[in-house]
Chain A
Amino acid sequence: MLELWTPKYLFWPILLIALFAFLRSILSRIQVLRMAQKDPRLDHLKERFRSLLLDGIMQWRQPRYPFSGILHLVIFWGFVVLSLRSLQLLSYGLGISILSPFETGAFWDLYGLLKDVFEILVLFTCLLSMARRLLFNPPRYKGSHEAEAYLVLGLISFLMITDILFEASYCLLAEKNELSISQAMAIPFLKFSRTSLEVIYNLSFVLHILAFLFFLNLLPLSKHFHIITALPNVFFRKLKTGSIKPVRYNVQDIEDLEYSGTKYIYDLTWKHILDIYTCTECGRCSDNCPANLVGRELSPKMLTLKLRESIYKTYPVTVQKKERPNPIIPGEVIGEGEIWSCTTCGACERECPVFIEYIDKIVDMRRYLIEQGQGPSSFNQVFINVEKTGNPFGKPPAKRADWAKEAGEIPVRILKKGDQVETLLFVDSYPSFDPKANEVTLSVVRGLHKMGEDFGILGPLERDSGHQVRRMGEEGLFELLREKNRNLLSEIRFKRIVTIDPHSFNTLKNDYGLQIPIYHYSQYLYLALENGRLKPKRVIREGTYTYHDPCYLGRHNGIYGEPRELLKGILDAPLREMSKSRDRSLCCGGADVGLWYEVREEERMASKRVKMALEIGADHIVTACPFCMIHLEDAVKTMGLEERLMVVDLMGLIDSCL
């Protein structure tokens, strides 16, 4: 390197001031994390490191949006490669040579090449990104800090340009035969005088360092904080989808808490605040959120941004405020319309490139509202019914197994305490009482019977699984149901549980902590098809089919293959995929809040879904969830499409082939 004009003692104070300001901001952000609630995230370290590598460093989720994903990958990898260069330049300015042991040999030559390539790539990508934002700004950026995006893209471009100029002028001044790319960059300056080159050399260096330090200080104040927080956020991600967090971690007696759920910022867990710091405002969550899609009040991205604004306003980096802040709910920061719009489908969480969690945050806000008696009044009777009768309809428990009278000659064994059985069929409330869901229950029972399965149901003793009430925010009621069901299950001997509804499957599997295999019927019947216990007698040749993935089977529990394999086993007709399928499946409207609370929306989720089925020319939508079936069938009827489209349950279809 050539001697710089600027004296070294000038860089030291600048660097120290910049570092001081940066650390101050960071410490203030950390202070909020420390105020927040506990949230243990150091389990399953192997899985965490694996995710850090794949989802953090390899950025597996980025290409789900191919164009912007690839742009981001280039810039990210540019940052990784060029961080060494930044360190080199900084140490150069300071007159210390911490990197000199490495600055020789083949590695450094290769690095020089890599650096040049990435600087050009990153510059090109930044320009492309700006052009993309200018020309085809995707709607998912609505509400994001767009000026800031341009500022940062401009800043990165500026960093690249100043370093390219610095390197090019250096090549010419040193008359060194450096690597070809650096030389190529120097071509435009070949005819410059030595003085001009020296001006370029010095000016680009100073500007580069200043821009770098400015950028550093901008990070904790902007959406680009994710440059620092994204990797930790991925590492500390929620590993078990489908489950709901406890009211408080590390609190023995939640009855001693002044209130449950989230009222103030510091009721969030530290991880949830890290989420809020990390949001890149890319809007992929809202772009996939069914509530947002049908014009409900909720946009997951805006939920995070509003919370972020509230945190930054309450705890700015400049003032160390300690007083009790304003509540964030109800209505202060997050409105009730947002809180009750979520169907907990998980599309936002599945999409987020940095694994921000939404469901737990929203459920915690619901918990607060429900405990304060501020939930929708239409829930009151539902909760009382569930508490008193074990089902949301308020039907007498004695009638819980009445559906079995329709099973004809098939004996449906109603288990009592002390009984023994191979397979326990957990029916749950809707499949026990709802006439439409009853049909699914009966077809499951017929299927099990034909397989020669030894099975039984809990009948009047069974209580609602509590999946719904937990997600509606009635945690105490959920705990009551879980305790009663768990006690009951502990008094019957069985080898496995099979469920009809994916929601009961999810909650038994993820919320109950049972040490016994739990299957959704689609999994269990798939196994039976594989080992020949289930033998379809005929195949279906007519119609065009599509499979609608229920959220709590697919996204939350990763079951995509089994239902499709079962379908292939009985279909000799086209099976097509809708534009949104598998982990991008569009929620039908959900199985909890939406059943008892009319949320303002422009269109029903189910009718959007039905249109997707029509688009691919399907005349049968197959699903494996009673709620999906109810919602979709409703939409087909209200849209007057009964002649063109049929909604069938997977089990009903299999049953017709046995």
Chain B
Amino acid sequence: MDVVVCLRRVPFTQEVDLEIDKGQRQILAENLAFVLNDWDNYALEEAISLKERTKGTVTAITVGTEEDEEVLRRALAMGADTAIRIDSEGLTLDPRNIARLLARVIRGLRFHLILTGAQSDDLNEGCVGAMLAEELGLPHASVVNKIELGEDVLEIKVELEGGIEEISTIKLPCLLTIQTGINEPRYVSVMGIRKAAKKELKVVTIEELSLDKEALVPDVYVERLFYPPETGGAEILEGDPHIVAEKILRILRERGVIS
């Protein structure tokens, strides 16, 4: 099975005190570390393991700058056969335009399945997968947490609200957006990435895709980023753990949580 997997590089924001830049439209990225989007990591692992099971190929694609090639190298190190970067050429791209760019490249590839992460860590829009399926006219399913191989079909599992699980059959070719936890992504060692640096990585420009840069103006754009105004109602308990525990206990009793 030939799988195309779409990847995105996102900032690593754990415990970081994010700062908003002066224009109030962006987060300051200077001091941030960047990693492969978590959801995409699971999609990538799923693609590689499908490749291993079915003796197919994996093509990893990202839209971005030269710095974003890092995620493609990781994919190559993990076992992807081909890596393509669509040069974003400094444009701010919204999900629809990302989907359009991806679709242009993917149309020219041989594939049975497209995988994307269910959403990205930074903007959490969860749109690209569905929009890409639409662009390509493919059936799609979102937030998939299990894939079983069938004859020209896949059996997929999706978790619904309230703990309900749904199993569906989807015809190939199709697009699935992947939920975290579907597998255990393997570790890609630094040495593995260094070795993968020697593998070929294709770069495609917007011009080569016969798209007009002017036409890639986002339909949605950020007006203003700001911290929500501080509101009252929070009480910070201080002191040593014994005293804090006692205070918590007292509050819980007062509010009738425990008797």
Chain A residues within 8 Å of B, Cβ to Cβ: 254-255, 260, 370-371, 373-375, 377, 379-380, 383-384, 387-389, 394-399, 474-477, 479-480
Query: By the criterion CB–CB under 8 Å, are A371 and B191 in contact?
Result: yes
Task: Pick from B15, B31, B189: contact of A370, CB below 8 A.
Answer: B189
Q: Is the CB of A477 within 8 A of B189?
A: yes
Find out whether the CB atom of A388 lies under 8 angstroms from the CB atom of B33: yes
Chain A residues with CB under 8 Å of B184's CB are: 377
Tell me, in angstroms, the Cα distance from A398 to B14 when the chains sit together: 12
Q: How far apart sit A16 and B34, CA to CA, in the bound complex (Å)?
A: 71
- Chain B proximity of A642: nearest CB distance (Å): 14
Closest to A382 in B: B187
Do B191 and A475 have beta carbons less than 8 Å apart? yes
* 21 residue pairs from A and B, CB less than 8 Å apart: A254-B191, A255-B198, A260-B191, A371-B192, A373-B78, A377-B184, A377-B187, A379-B187, A380-B186, A384-B35, A387-B190, A389-B33, A394-B12, A394-B15, A398-B17, A399-B15, A475-B191, A476-B190, A477-B189, A477-B190, A480-B190
**CB-CB nearest 4 A-B residue pairs:** A476-B190, A373-B186, A476-B191, A388-B33
B218 an interface residue at 8 Å Cβ cutoff? no
B247 at the interface (CB under 8 A from A): no
Query: Smallest Cβ distance from B257 to chain A, in angstroms?
Result: 29
The interface centre, meaning the residue of B15, B188, B191 with most chain A CB atoms within 10 A of its CB, is B191
Q: Among A255, A377, A384, A396, which residue has its beta carbon within 8 angstroms of that of B191?
A: A255
The interface bits of chain B over 12-34 (1 if a CB of A lies within 8 angstroms of the residue's CB, else 0) are 10111100000000000001011
B110 at the interface (CB under 8 A from A): no
B18 closest partner in A (C-beta): A396
Q: Among residues 154 to 212 in chain B, which have CB atoms less than 8 Å away from a CB atom of chain A?
A: 184-195, 197-198
Interface range for B:
20 to 34
Q: Which of B14, B187, B194 has the most CB of A within 10 A?
A: B187
Interface bits B26-68 vs A (CB < 8 Å: 1, else 0): 0000010111000000000000000000000000000000000
Q: Is the interface of B mostly helix, strand, loop or mixed?
A: loop
Q: Is the CB of A380 within 8 A of B12?
A: no
> With A370-B187, A383-B187, A394-B14 as given contacts, are A388 and B192 in contact (CB-CB < 8 Å)?
no
| Contact status of A474 and B190, CB under 8 A, knowing A394-B15, A395-B15, A396-B15 | yes
Check A398 against B31 for contact (C-beta < 8 Å): yes
User: What distance in Å separates the Cβ of B50 from its nearest Cβ neighbour in chain A?
Assistant: 16
Smallest CB gap from A475: residue in B: B191
Question: Are B190 and A373 in contact, CB atoms less than 8 angstroms apart?
Answer: no
In the bound complex, CA of A377 to CA of B185 (Å): 8
Chain B residues with Cβ below 8 Å from A383 are 187, 189
Smallest CB separation, B189 vs chain A (Å) = 5
Q: How far is the CB of B85 from chain A (nearest CB, A)?
A: 20
B38 to chain A, nearest CB (A): 10
Q: Cβ of B185: which chain A residues have Cβ within 8 Å of it?
A: 380
Please, which residue of chain A has its CB at the minimum distance from the CB of B186? A373
With A373-B187, A389-B33, A474-B189 already in contact, the answer to whether A255 and B194 are too (CB < 8 A) is yes
A479 CB contacts on chain B under 8 angstroms: 190
